[in-house]
Structure 1
Amino acid sequence: MVNIRNVALSAYRSALADGTSGGFSKTQSLKKIEKPGKSDFAQAVDSEIRRQRMDDPISASRAQEIAAQYMKVEKPLSETVTDSLKKVNDLQTEKNMMIEEFASGRTQNVHELMISLQKAGLAMRMTSAVRNKVMQAYRELAQMQF
């Protein structure tokens, strides 16, 4: 992975070391650039970035894979929401079933009951939070003037 700070420091060091061949020295004052183009420092930064990318081609290909993974859409939003609501409903159904089994004495596993209660409660709170955000966004859109 290319680290900007390391690239800049490395380019600065190489430009300082190159003071006799058109680079810049520590005592050289800042001058206006008369002609458009890249300064020695910018050229050193570019060459250092190219060098680091060549040293680590795996990270460049990995970055492309990650970008492609995030860019593809596996299923539409409506299906995602529907699937999420089905999972929340399943957790609620499982919770109710475990409460009935525990109350009737068929099971004595308190730990699994408490885990099921927490899962269902957390899923319901998350669903409510998402619903509230969607409603807030809808209200903001409704109030916009076009």
Structure 2
Amino acid sequence: MVDIRSAALSAYRTAMQSGSINGVGGVKPLSKASPASSSFARAVDTEVRRQRMDDPIATARAEETAKHFMKVQKPFTETVTDSLHKVNELDAVKTSMIEEFASGRSQNVHELMISLQKAGLAMRMTSAVRNKVLEAYKELSRMQF
């Protein structure tokens, strides 16, 4: 991981030694060159690059994280289908628990209420996702290409 404080201090020291910053009056006026081409900016870039190369573990960890997020684990349609099946299962469990409680086979009110809440929440989330997808579709259909 790059320590920005040490990078800035090192760049400041380098800039002081190169003479682009004078000790009394502050920064010397730059020519018409862009600020990115100042010796201070170059020193900061150099120090950040050096610190990144000094820490191969952080570099490897960053590459591994990037690979993890870049790979597609399963297609979107499969994810949506699995989610809809799960919502359907929760609704079926809710219905069977209501029937068991109504017939007197089960006396556990707590589990019944939990299953009702799970099924209701899953249905509300599914409706919210559906509404967002429809909203996005309407927005895309209004776009002119």
TM-score range, shorter chain: 0.7 to 0.9
Classify the secondary structure of the residue corresponding to 2:21.
Answer: coil
Residue 103 of structure 1 aligns with which residue?
102
Residue 25 of structure 1 aligns with which residue?
22
Question: Structure 2-normalised TM-score?
Answer: 0.81
Report which stretch shifted further, 129-138 or 107-116. 107-116
- Indicate conservation of the 8 Å contact 1:10/1:48, yes or no: no
Residue 94 of structure 1: CA displacement?
0.9
- Counterparts of residues 33-72 of structure 1 (less than 5 Å): 33=32, 38-72=37-71
Q: State the one-letter code of the partner of 2:87.
A: V
Please state if 1:125 is matched with 2:128. no
Residue 113 of structure 1 aligns with which residue?
112
What is the percentage of aligned positions where both structures have the same residue? 60
Residue 92 of structure 1: CA displacement?
0.7
Q: State the one-letter code of the partner of 1:24.
A: I
Please give the per-residue CA displacement for 1:33-83, whole angstroms capped at 9, x wherever unaligned.
Answer: 569x94321232123212322343222211211111111112221111111
Classify the secondary structure of the residue corresponding to 1:81.
Answer: helix
Residue 2 of structure 1 aligns with which residue?
2
User: Unaligned 5+ residue runs, structure 1?
Assistant: none
Residue 8 of structure 1: CA displacement?
5.6
Across the two proteins, how many residue pairs are aligned to each other? Answer: 142
- Indicate conservation of the 8 Å contact 1:91/1:119, yes or no: yes
Q: State the one-letter code of the partner of 1:83.
A: D
- Counterparts of residues 132-143 of structure 1 (less than 5 Å): 132-143=131-142
Question: Structure 1-normalised TM-score?
Answer: 0.80
Rounded to whole Å, the distance in 2 between the matches of 1:114 and 1:6 is: 54
- Indicate conservation of the 8 Å contact 1:88/1:124, yes or no: yes
Residue 86 of structure 1 aligns with which residue?
85
Structure 1 residues 102 and 116 mapped into 2: Cα distance closer, same or farther (>3 Å)?
same
Q: What is the aligned-residue RMSD (CA, Å)?
A: 2.5
- Indicate conservation of the 8 Å contact 2:14/2:40, yes or no: yes
- Indicate conservation of the 8 Å contact 1:15/1:23, yes or no: no
